[in-house]
Amino acid sequence: MKKWFTVIIFSIILLSIAGLTFSFFDTFSGSKKENVNQTDEVDQIQLTFWRNSGNAAENKAYEELVSAFEKANPDIDVQMKSIPYSDYEIRLRTELAAGNPPDILTIDSPTLALYANTGSLLSLDQYMRKEGKIDDIPETTLKGLSYKGQIYLAPVTESSIALCYNIHLFKKAGIPLPPKNPNKPLTWDEVVEIAKKLNNPAKGVIGIDPAQGFGEGEAPAYFKTPFLWQFGTTVLSPDGTTASGYVDSAEALKALQFYQDLYNKYGVATFEIPSGAFESGKLAMTVMGSWTLKDFERNTDFKLGEDFGVAPLPKAKYQVAPNGAWSLGITSKSKHPKEAWKFIKYVTSYEGMKKYVTMTGDIPARYSVAKALPEFNEYPKNILLLQAQKFSRNRPVTPVYPVVSDAIKTLFEDVGIGGKDANVSAKEAVEKINTALKEIEKP
């Protein structure tokens, strides 16, 4: 197992997060300052809390949550370190392997099993079931935070993706705007027909970017795996032991062929999309993440309802959107698990979560918080919220998820950019995933 963990750290992660360079300098930004008056201090328990550095709103929200918790719990000192995303995974896994991890950490939920399988994470199952009010959390969210029947992480937010469209291009072409009803999305076939009408190479207008282009990291798997789900298949078998008969199934091949046709047969999607194409009217439709709406709100020159609109993610045979977000856990080597849980309990509680999502605009992971905030019951956030609560699915919870993520990324690149035969590419992806699954089964 230790051998596998080392392999995961130094090889697979480097494949899924290309270009990472370990920094020997302290790039952390702390949220705590040492108290000046030592004589007035009560005896404190110090908790170390590592998290990936987010945007300004996310960082500010966590700083306020830490401050509020410490004020209510003067006997606990939370030392929060915010680490740049590009360095976070490598630094965290290196410290876990060296036996020097923080007490509390944030983990991108699809990589949960990688940590849980090596014994690096403390199960939160007893805490969550007793004090976490899990009835207030969607089942699909809890499923993505669980491994082998145990809950390991506590959520603050959820995520989703939606179809965004340029209103001016639609109106100019005389095309009705997509429906806003989250229960009645367009089909992908309908989207293709619209994209054909809006696609205009002569004027540099691209019909659609169906899944955030061809980037690096986890984004490709997050945005593209839903195609497999929507056409009726999954990545792994229910018991998580094989990709055979799933990634290379008839349903998967239909999904991959459809995706390829967007680029090669219909020509409504392109490999290279200029920066700002959507805002400048050079991209008619694009699929974007829930976290991008805040960015558009800050753009006073490109406004929701005037310049662009939001519609549910298109469906194929099934209506399915991805979920999953960075959640909180406790490392198994923590000397203060009860105090660490006390902090997590606060951050992920109704009060803590409400404070966080009010500041960030992210989708809350609790029904009660979403219900209490009017913006999540109104367009367009009601679309993203309902998708997360009702139509979402988790990426595979497996110790070899980094390999799965990289295989999915390569698969869609091959059929999209490379125009390779879908059947051949699918079998290559299956072989890559199954090899990793067999490796981890070795004693």
Mean model confidence pLDDT for the chain: 91
pLDDT tier at 298 (50, 70, 90 boundaries)? Answer: confident
Answer yes or no: is pLDDT of 31 > 80. no
Residues 198-219 have pLDDT tens digits of 999 999 999 999 999 999 999 9
Q: Does domain 2-159+324-393 have CATH number 3.40.190.10?
A: yes
Q: What is the mean pLDDT of residues 54-75?
A: 96
pLDDT grade, residue 32 (50/70/90)?
A: very low
pLDDT digits (tens, 9 = 90+) for 190-200: 999 999 999 99
Asked whether the predicted pLDDT for residue 352 surpasses 80, the reply is yes
Mean of pLDDT values over 31-48: 61
pLDDT value at residue 42:
63
pLDDT category of residue 41 using cuts at 50, 70 and 90: low
Residue 135 has a pLDDT of 98
CATH number belonging to the domain at 161-322+400-441, selected among 3.90.1170.40, 3.40.50.180, 3.40.190.10, 3.40.50.11540: 3.40.190.10
**Mean pLDDT to the nearest integer, 169-183:** 97
State the pLDDT at residue 295. Answer: 78
More confident residue, 298 or 423: 423
The domain limits of the chain are 2-159+324-393, 161-322+400-441
161-322+400-441 matches 2-159+324-393 in CATH topology: yes
- pLDDT bin (cut points 50, 70, 90) of residue 21 is very low
The answer, yes or no, to whether residue 33 has pLDDT greater than 50, is no
Query: Mapped to the 3 state alphabet, what secondary structure does the chain carry?
Result: CHHHHHHHHHHHHHHHCCCCCCCCCCCCEECCCCCCCHHHCCCCEEEEEEEECCCHHHHHHHHHHHHHHHHHCCCEEEEEEEECHHHHHHHHHHHHHHCCCCCEEEEEHHHHHHHHHCCCEECCHHHHHHHCCHHHCCHHHHHHCEECCEECCECCEECCEEEEEEHHHHHHHCCCCCCCCCCCCCEHHHHHHHHHHHCEHHHCEEEEECCCCCCCCCHHHHHHHHHHHHCCCCCCCCCCCCCCCCCCCHHHHHHHHHHHHHHHCCCCCCCCCCCCCCCCCCEEEEEEEHHHHHHHHHCCCCCECCCEEEECCCECCCCCEECCCEEEEEECCCCCHHHHHHHHHHHCCHHHHHHHHHHHCCEECCHHHHHHCHHHHCCCHHHHHHHHHHCEECCCCCCCHHHHHHHHHHHHHHHHCCCCCHHHHHHHHHHHHHHHHHHHHCC
Residue 104 confidence (pLDDT) above 90? yes
- Per residue in 235-273, pLDDT tens? 999 999 999 999 999 999 999 999 999 999 999 999 999
* Averaged pLDDT, 52-78: 96
**Average pLDDT for 289-314:** 88
pLDDT at 87: 93
